[in-house]
Amino acid sequence: MTPVAEGAALVGFLAASVRVATPLLLAAIGETVTERAGVINLGLEGAMLAGALGSALGARGGPWAGVAAGVVAGAVVAAVFAAWVVGARVNQIIAGTAVTLACVGLTGTIYRQAYGAGGARLSLPTLGPLAVPGLSRIPVMGPALFAQPALTYIALALVPAVWWVLYRTRVGLALRATGEASDLAHAAGVPVRALRFWATVFGGALAGIGGASLVLAQVGTFAEKMTAGRGYVAIAIVVLGRWHPVGVALAALLFGAATALQFLFQALGLAVPYQFFLMLPYVLTLLALAGAVGRAKAPAGLAKDE
Amino acid sequence: MKSSGLIAGVAALALGLGVLAAGLWLAGYDATSALAALWRGAFGSWYAFTSATLVRAVPLIIIGLGIAVAFRANALNIGAEGQFYAGAMAATWAGLHLAGTAPVIAIPAVWLAAATAGALWVLLPAWLRLRFGVLEVISTLLLNFVAESLVSWMVQGPLQEAKRIYPQSDPIAEAARLPLLPGTRLHLGALVGIVLAGLVWYVFRRTVWGFELLATGTGPRAARVSGRIDVGRVTALALLWSGAIAGLAGGVEVGGVSYALFQNLSPGYGFTGIAVALLARLRPLAIVATGVLFGALEAGAGAMQRDAGIPAVAVYVVEGVIILAVLLADAMARRARTAMVLPDAEPEPA
């Protein structure tokens, strides 16, 4: 390859990494808050799917109306889940599985009802890339990082914001205490159940934006089961990022990069079946978990309060 | 206890179907004819019951039993889908190489290959859990995606049909195919499910290992402190057996229904199997019943789509609502018991 082509391939690889990472980061940063409060939400996949369909339906009023609808859809799904696990204190893994199952059915049915049995290909108004003046001119990094759709910037901005709330505010302290030792937090006057409920709803809302970013900033249409397990991957990313916003952001970018490698290798013309590149991010995540988790500590009360 | 569980289950089913009917009515469908189509597709005739409902129920029952083994030790195996595919791949490979043998050799050989592959597929999560403390919920889940990609490669690569047109394998040898109940498409796998349910019941109720599973699942610290139970070993073995059983389900599906490997062989059996096991509260004999129930729902959903034009996926809403309703009923029963024992206790200690 010529140096120019190499540079273009590198920019393409970095930009694709960030693009793949965006919906995962949105969902994972929300789930970080949820898990820090002691709740693991396997309904995240359902919330993301609902957010994706909600954004497709809402986008009739423009792309930002779509994003808003995605947030509401994700939050509603998470609120149902939270009502069960926080209100009735049922097993979180089971309730999450059930919520995702119901969402697969509900989104599939509503989609066919709204757009016909064949599911005519929608063309929705999309959120185009938004170049940050100045920064986008930096060689290589500029076009990769600073010429992305607005939702990517929102995802990146959420990382320090969530860090600040978790580690520098009273609410964050109460939230972390809730996840580590809910009895002690309760005795200290922390509204444990309210915090858990809203932390879960927050996670669902962000998963909803994640679903919306998939529809409005990437694919431009909705398809059944289009999240294809991204909600579950987001949960793995939270573990890989050791329940810390910065770690989670790095883990999401790592997963994005591992996924984007296939575009790079295809450009290089390697004779490896593409399916192995599809496996790569999952295998890498698994290996990274083995290396990372040994030293990491999950919130002590995670999924414990039945 | 048992009858109250049954009542809760029936009430949950009624609620699930009620939600479906209400949703369909709101969406402008004819809910009555939809539910009638659902019933006809599942129980309307001997053929529908055996060839649609029970054929759908077999993989759900077998996977559900595998889930029960792991969940009983509180090893949360969410990767049955991947283990099912591992079993299906091994079964196809074995089935293709068994031409000319007798069925009494070919069929057990296929089952053995499938179960071994399923166990191998969960070996890495079991090891990661023991060695590094990686949550098996995450690791088994991630391997589902790897298995799906591996199947995709297999049917376009090493296991693709000789003609190399479609992404599927050649049909397995006649000898490796399971005998059918005359006049139906119901295969020997149904018997496998029932016998396996009896075996798992026996292991749970009558063996030391069954007790160790329960002790590990309900009180790992007490089990460890007792000094008699190696909690890590029990957990790992529970995962391996769980994977083997889910793999066997893949082998039975290839040998009894599809006769070949292709992508989307499983319409999410690995996930529905979790629901089947949980709804039965991990009780092996109840799993047979819940497996038939979910098999009926999914068979009926197909008929609903054909006859009433309602998307078959709607039935997943029913399944989700049933599980949530049972969870809620359990929680309320638990609360009522606590209130009886401790009349003056604070009702909600957060």
Poorest-confidence range of A66-80, A114-128, B111-125? A114-128
- Output the domain CATH number for residue A253: 1.10.3470
pLDDT value of position B345: 42
Out of B23, B152, B313, the one facing A104 most closely (by C-beta) is B313
In this complex, do A101 and B320 lie within 8 Å of one another by their Cβ atoms? yes
**Residue A87 DSSP code:** I
In this complex, do B316 and A105 lie within 8 Å of one another by their Cβ atoms? yes
Minimal C-alpha gap between A124 and chain B (Å): 23
Residue A2 has pLDDT above 90, yes or no: no
Contact residues on chain B for A186, CB-CB shorter than 8 A: 349-350
> Predicted confidence band at B181 (pLDDT cuts at 50, 70, 90)?
very high
In this complex, do A279 and B321 lie within 8 Å of one another by their Cβ atoms? no
Q: Does A283 touch chain B (CB under 8 A)?
A: yes
Higher pLDDT among residues A201 and B340, named by residue:
A201
Of A166, A149, A180, which is closest to residue A246 (Cα–Cα)? A166
Domain that holds residue A147: 3-124+132-293
Residue in A39, A89, A109 to test binding to B, most B beta-carbons within 10 Å: A109
Poorest-confidence range of B40-44, B68-72, B337-341, B342-346? B342-346
Q: In terms of residues, how long is chain B? A: 350
Q: Does A224 touch chain B (CB under 8 A)?
A: yes
In this complex, do B76 and A93 lie within 8 Å of one another by their Cβ atoms? yes
Of B213, B236, B215, B205, which is closest to residue B77 (Cα–Cα)? B236
User: Residue B114 corresponds to which tokens in the numbers above?
Assistant: 């499938």
What is the average per-residue pLDDT within A114-138?
73
Does the interface ipTM go beyond 0.90? no
> Predicted confidence band at B284 (pLDDT cuts at 50, 70, 90)?
very high
**Gap between the Cα atoms of B236 and B241, Å rounded:** 9
Q: Does A273 touch chain B (CB under 8 A)?
A: yes
Report the alpha-carbon angle A255-A257-A259, nearest 5. 70
If contacts are CB pairs under 8 Å, which of residues 27-46 in chain A contact chain B?
A: 40, 42
**Gap between the Cα atoms of B200 and B204, Å rounded:** 6
Residue A113, number of CB atoms within 10 A of its CB: 17
Residue in A101, A272, A289, A295 to test binding to B, most B beta-carbons within 10 Å: A101
Asked whether residue A264 is assigned to any structural domain, the reply reads yes
Residues 6 or more apart whose Cβ sits within 8 Å of residue B5: B281
pLDDT value of position A85: 94
In chain A, pLDDT over 70 holds for what percent of residues? Answer: 94
pLDDT value of position B6: 76
Out of A91, A102, A289, the one facing B317 most closely (by C-beta) is A102
SS3 of chain B: CHHHHHHHHHHHHHHHHHHHHHHHHHCCCCHHHHHHHHHHHHHCCHHHHHHHHHHHHHHHHHHHHHHHHHHHCCCCCCCHHHHHHHHHHHHHHHHHCCCCCCHHHHHHHHHHHHHHHHHHHCHHHHHHHHHHCCCHHHHHHHHHHHHHHHHHHHCCCCCCCCCCCCCECCCCCHHHCCCECCCCCCECHHHHHHHHHHHHHHHHHHCHHHHHHHHHHHCHHHHHHCCCCCHHHHHHHHHHHHHHHHHHHHHHHHHHHHCCCECCCCCCHHHHHHHHHHHCCCCHHHHHHHHHHHHHHHHHHHHHHHHHCCCCCHHHHHHHHHHHHHHHHHHHHHHHHHHHHCCCCCCCCC
Q: Does A94 touch chain B (CB under 8 A)?
A: yes
Contact B270, B82 (CB under 8 A): yes
pLDDT value of position A294: 56
Q: Torsions phi, psi of B262, nearest 5? A: -155, 170
Residue B285 has pLDDT above 50, yes or no: yes
Contact B243, B118 (CB under 8 A): yes
pLDDT (tens digit, 9 = 90+) per residue, A36-67?
999 999 999 999 999 999 999 998 888 899 99
For A119, the closest chain B residue by CA position comes to B311
In this complex, do B320 and A98 lie within 8 Å of one another by their Cβ atoms? yes
Asked whether residue A303 is assigned to any structural domain, the reply reads no
Contact residues on chain B for A275, CB-CB shorter than 8 A: 149-150, 152-153, 156
Contact B111, B252 (CB under 8 A): yes
Q: Does B333 touch chain A (CB under 8 A)?
A: no
In this complex, do B320 and A84 lie within 8 Å of one another by their Cβ atoms? no
Contact A245, A159 (CB under 8 A): yes
How far is Cα of residue A67 from the mean position of the Cα atoms in its chain? 14
Q: Does B316 touch chain A (CB under 8 A)?
A: yes
pLDDT value of position A120: 55
**Residue A298 DSSP code:** -
pLDDT (tens digit, 9 = 90+) per residue, B211-230?
999 988 888 888 888 878 88
Q: Does A286 touch chain B (CB under 8 A)?
A: yes
Region of B155 (left: φ > 0; alpha: ψ -120 to 50; beta: rest) is alpha
Asked whether residue A299 is assigned to any structural domain, the reply reads no
**Gap between the Cα atoms of A78 and B223, Å rounded:** 35
For A84, the closest chain B residue by CA position comes to B328
Residues 6 or more apart whose Cβ sits within 8 Å of residue B198: B284, B285
Asked whether residue A19 is assigned to any structural domain, the reply reads yes
Asked whether residue A282 is assigned to any structural domain, the reply reads yes
What is the average per-residue pLDDT within A5-12?
78
Asked whether residue A76 is assigned to any structural domain, the reply reads yes
In this complex, do A279 and B145 lie within 8 Å of one another by their Cβ atoms? yes
- Cβ-count burial of A17 within 10 angstroms (0-12 exposed, 13-18 middle, 19+ buried)? buried
pLDDT (tens digit, 9 = 90+) per residue, B235-280?
999 999 999 999 999 999 999 999 999 999 998 899 899 989 988 8
**Gap between the Cα atoms of A291 and A182, Å rounded:** 29
Residue B346 has pLDDT above 70, yes or no: no
Structural domains in chain B, CATH included, are 46-295 (1.10.3470)
pLDDT value of position A8: 78
Asked whether residue A224 is assigned to any structural domain, the reply reads yes
> Predicted confidence band at A224 (pLDDT cuts at 50, 70, 90)?
confident
Residue A117 has pLDDT above 70, yes or no: no
Contact residues on chain A for B314, CB-CB shorter than 8 A: 105, 108-109
* Among A11-25, A69-83, A281-295, B267-281, the range of highest mean pLDDT: A69-83
Which amino acid is located at B294 in the chain? F
Average pLDDT, chain A: 88
Minimal C-alpha gap between A138 and chain B (Å): 36
If contacts are CB pairs under 8 Å, which of residues 157-186 in chain A contact chain B?
A: 182-183, 185-186
> Predicted confidence band at B347 (pLDDT cuts at 50, 70, 90)?
very low
Out of A101, A108, A229, the one facing B275 most closely (by C-beta) is A101
What is the average per-residue pLDDT within B288-308?
92
In this complex, do A105 and B134 lie within 8 Å of one another by their Cβ atoms? no
pLDDT value of position A123: 72
Question: For chain A, how many structural domains are there in total?
Answer: 1
Asked whether residue A301 is assigned to any structural domain, the reply reads no
What is the reported pTM?
0.90
Residue A222 has pLDDT above 70, yes or no: yes
Q: E-strand spans in A84-237?
A: 129-131, 147-149
pLDDT value of position A295: 57
User: Residue B267 corresponds to which tokens in the numbers above?
Assistant: 């319409």
What is the average per-residue pLDDT within A78-102?
92
Q: Does A294 touch chain B (CB under 8 A)?
A: yes
User: Residue B312 corresponds to which tokens in the numbers above?
Assistant: 């078959």
Q: Does B309 touch chain A (CB under 8 A)?
A: yes
In this complex, do A98 and B156 lie within 8 Å of one another by their Cβ atoms? no
